[in-house]
Amino acid sequence: MTPALRCIRERAPGAGARVAVLLGSGWGGFTQRLAAAVRIPYAELDGFPNAGVAGHAGELWLGRLGGIEIAVLAGRRHVYEDGRADGMNRALHTLRDFGCRVLVQTNAAGSLDPAIAPGSVLLIADHLNLVQRSPLQGPGCSERFVDLADAYDPELRALAQAAARRGATPLHEGVYAWMLGPQFETPAEVRMLRALGADAVGMSTVPETITARRLGLRVLALSLITNLAAGLSSHRLSHAHTLQQAQAAGDAACALLADVVSAVARGA
Active site residues: 25, 56, 78, 80-81, 108, 203-204, 227, 239
Q: Answer whether 63's CB lies under 8 Å from 70's CB.
A: yes
Coil, strand or helix: which one is 120?
coil
Q: Which CB contacts under 8 angstroms, 24+ apart, belong to 134-139?
A: 134/85, 134/207, 134/210, 135/85, 135/86, 135/87, 135/88, 135/89, 135/207, 135/208, 135/210, 135/211, 135/214, 136/86, 136/210, 136/211, 136/214, 137/85, 137/86, 138/86
- Which residues make Cβ contacts (< 8 Å) with residue 254, sequence separation at least 6? 27, 29, 30, 33
